[in-house]
Chain A
């Protein structure tokens, strides 16, 4: 069983220690409870642009020095942004624990003095290139963005993706950066997880030394999200520079961790994972009308998301694909899932979880997520329980209630050459 020690500093920083000496490494991971859902219209992409800025130095760490310090001792590092959170992490040789804590604490407590317009201008250009590279210059690159626009109303801030819009990125000012930092980047809005080869006594002293003096912020701005259920399916069709038609569906779910969300997670394994899964077998293997098919749930905090996508073979139209998918869902709802399917889906959940626990970096990230979304890092011990307890009847029920047209947004890409 993993050792988990969970405490708070006086300034509100939540600290989770997972001591494990199997490799001479230490993973440091900071989750800030802020993401693109905390942005407002006109300033989309800000949380992610901000993540870039946090690598550009702080009061005692020069521009680009953050990367240099970590890499020059053999560490690896990165940060990511999603709807609900932003994480920063490094894995270091374990004798550099103090270095990692120094770096993370300097940007948590002393970022603003080092902020300059020039740094902002450079990172804004880098993020625009990221958007071009990953969204605008590749086939289907804007699919997720389109689906979110469709599935959520503009007042629900999952309406836009974390990358944001080109226009908004251009509008971000230094004052916006300052305000964002002061509002969200503070110890009482963060979880620091340390996993690996360290002495807890020494780690606690270092954490206190580096993070203890950082002041908590004032109150948080009021923030609520209320999603109105869709009344009917929302659909969109458009043409783009792609070779094959592709279907994207977003089904709404309760938020991550709810029983229905976990059932839906298992359900996606039964629907689309390996060659024996239902949609793969029917669409790719037997009918051969799809090039590929996928279904999965996203780890989101405010509301749940099940994504499904399928690419049509040449000469096959999307309607045929949709009919075949809906037939498989109907078959699942009417006939239920088999015991073997339940076993395979539960096995897969167990193996995927074990893979996440295997490495310090992914383990620390998982613990940070449990602490941030569920207020309980020790959930890492119990996360699989509802998976193990899931029943075929429960999955069938979730399929019947959620995998229905009135609960989904559908977005269809069609090749430009195809007659509109």
Chain B
């Protein structure tokens, strides 16, 4: 056998990587504008970010922010919904809108030769949306139907029940799209009020990345967004989690399920957490990537699942920490035990240098691969704007990861993971998993698909 094959070849000299230069402007109406050049394809990505999302929904009408985002392309400026779609299509573009917990977005990805007329459409959608009654009626019906359809989707059910058991009825306490009850209560005035209160230039940023000359792009955006009128900054929301003292198990009965959708976790930390980097490394090692402990344990050692993951949802406020795994019915209890075991083990400081270095090298090395396209870069610029990251954030990202040591992993695992006070939600066949789960010795509750206790 040739000697060169018996072990992995060494690396060559590394090439340097720099995040593209970003040019920033603040317009007189308070709108922040960011531009980055990227000339790998004749495309540009432009995005409007509104720094308000479903976290600003009034509690009784949860789902407003999401519904409004869906309504942005139902008419804007002089164009109705069909005309908007036609004109974007003629420019060689795609228009997208959406909202998550932290923000709302409008985006256009388009052939770069048509950047200028596209920016004008993006501006229309951002602050001249017509929000028509007939469009609202249809979009709301579509949303109610979507909520109905989720009754059959185990992952969606698990996510909703986990969120509501953790956060109660307020912010983060369900899903961004709301519930059948809350959406039924939304009327066009709720939507228009949210648009007036939150879609403000001083609560927003516009970014553009791609095949452009920065000065041209700035001129185009400044002109397109100059007339957006500022308003009072919206107040910050707050979460109202329901505290609890010990772990507990909720089975959401889905009688014919052939898998159990498991969610295990508790409240995590906000994006602004000072331990963001050590937490990111710790989670990647624990369950954040394919070769992490939880996935290797459940998938590659036991064959219980196609994939298991852990994640901190880093949001403006403290989002959840959650481990998610769909496993076959017969190994539901075993999977829960293995996951809890991994949470306990990492808190003991049982971390080898090899796995720590592998994990850090992954996070440092993978970054350039995640910012190849204009759309990738636009997305990163939005992250910077949404979470107020420093201007050198992406250039210093690697050194921040490199600085994480073994003792940091144990420290943040101990501080931010709490395996003795976890919420365990399992969507599955209660008849098949009830008894085995009883042997965990934890309080066990059964709910129906709507979250109502089963007598």
Interface of A toward B, CB cutoff 8 Å: 22-25, 60, 63-64, 67-69, 71-76, 91, 93-99, 102, 105-106, 110, 121-130, 132-134, 136-139, 197, 209-210, 213, 241-244, 274-277, 281, 284-285, 288, 291, 311, 313-314, 340, 343-344, 347-348, 350-351, 354-355, 357-361
Contacts and interface: CB of A to CB of B under 8 A. Distances in A.
Given A133-B326, A274-B88, A360-B372, A22 B40 contact: yes
B260 to A, nearest CB: 9
Contacts of A276: 82-83, 85-86, 89
Nearest to A198: B12
Given A95-B14, A276-B89, A72 B328 contact: no
A405 B257 CA distance: 36
Nearest to A93: B365
A69 B149 contact: no
Given A74-B369, A291-B146, A360-B372, 7 more contacts: A23-B372, A75-B365, A94-B12, A95-B15, A241-B152, A274-B85, A351-B92
Interface stretch (B61-69, B354-362, B438-446): B354-362
Nearest to B135: A285
B395 to A, nearest CB: 14
Contact of B259 (A73, A132, A351): A132
A275 B81 contact: yes
A359 B305 CA distance: 31
Nearest to A345: B89
Interface in B5-54: 5-17, 39-43
A388 to B, nearest CB: 13
B73 A275 contact: yes
Contact of A72 (B138, B357, B368, B369): B357
A348 B42 contact: no
B64 to A, nearest CB: 21
A197 B10 CA distance: 17
The 10 closest A-B pairs by CB, nearest first: A74-B365, A125-B303, A344-B89, A24-B15, A347-B92, A72-B358, A276-B85, A98-B9, A139-B152, A95-B12
Interface in B351-387: 357-359, 361-369, 372-375
B413 interface: no
B142 A291 contact: yes
Given A72-B361, A99-B9, A347 B303 contact: no
Contact of B291 (A68, A275, A284, A358): A68
Contacts of B259: 129, 132-133, 136-137
B141 interface: yes
A80 to B, nearest CB: 14
A343 B90 contact: yes
Interface string B244-258: 000000000000111
Contacts of B302: 122, 125
Contacts of B81: 275, 285
A340 B88 CA distance: 12
Contact of B89 (A24, A68, A76, A274): A274
Contacts of A277: 85
A65 to B, nearest CB: 9
B151 interface: yes
Contacts of B40: 22-23, 358
Contact of B368 (A23, A68, A209): A23
Contacts of A94: 12, 15
Contacts, number: 226
A127 B328 CA distance: 12
A347 B152 CA distance: 37
B84 interface: yes
> B89, B92, B141, B153 — which one has the most chain A CB atoms within 10 A of its CB?
B89
Contacts of A73: 11, 361-362, 365
Given A137-B258, A275-B81, A344-B90, A354 B41 contact: yes
B2 interface: yes
A91 B369 contact: yes
A168 to B, nearest CB: 17
B358 A98 contact: no
Contacts of A22: 39-40
A74 B9 CA distance: 16
Nearest to B73: A275
B41 A357 contact: yes
Contacts of B16: 24
B305 A129 contact: yes
Given A241-B256, A275-B81, A358-B40, A340 B90 contact: yes
B348 interface: no
Contact of A24 (B17, B94, B111): B17
B145 interface: yes
Contacts of A64: 291, 296, 300
A242 B148 CA distance: 10
B43 A313 contact: no
Contacts of B110: 351
A314 B180 CA distance: 14
Contacts of B393: none
22 contacts: A23-B368, A24-B16, A64-B300, A67-B290, A72-B361, A76-B366, A93-B14, A94-B15, A97-B12, A123-B303, A129-B305, A132-B326, A137-B258, A275-B85, A276-B86, A347-B90, A347-B91, A348-B92, A351-B43, A351-B110, A358-B41, A358-B372
Contact of B15 (A93, A122, A129, A358): A93
A351 B89 CA distance: 10
B190 interface: no
B93 interface: yes
> B9, B17, B83, B368 — which one has the most chain A CB atoms within 10 A of its CB?
B9
B11 A99 contact: yes
Contact of B42 (A96, A136, A138, A354): A354
A97 to B, nearest CB: 7
A274 B110 CA distance: 14
A129 B328 contact: yes
Contacts of B375: 355
Interface string B293-304: 000100111111
Contacts of B11: 73, 93, 95-96, 98-99
Nearest to A123: B303
A197 to B, nearest CB: 6
A74 B258 contact: no
B281 interface: no
A95 B365 CA distance: 11
B86 A344 contact: yes
Contacts of A25: 368-369, 372
B327 A350 contact: no
Contact of B303 (A122, A210, A285, A358): A122
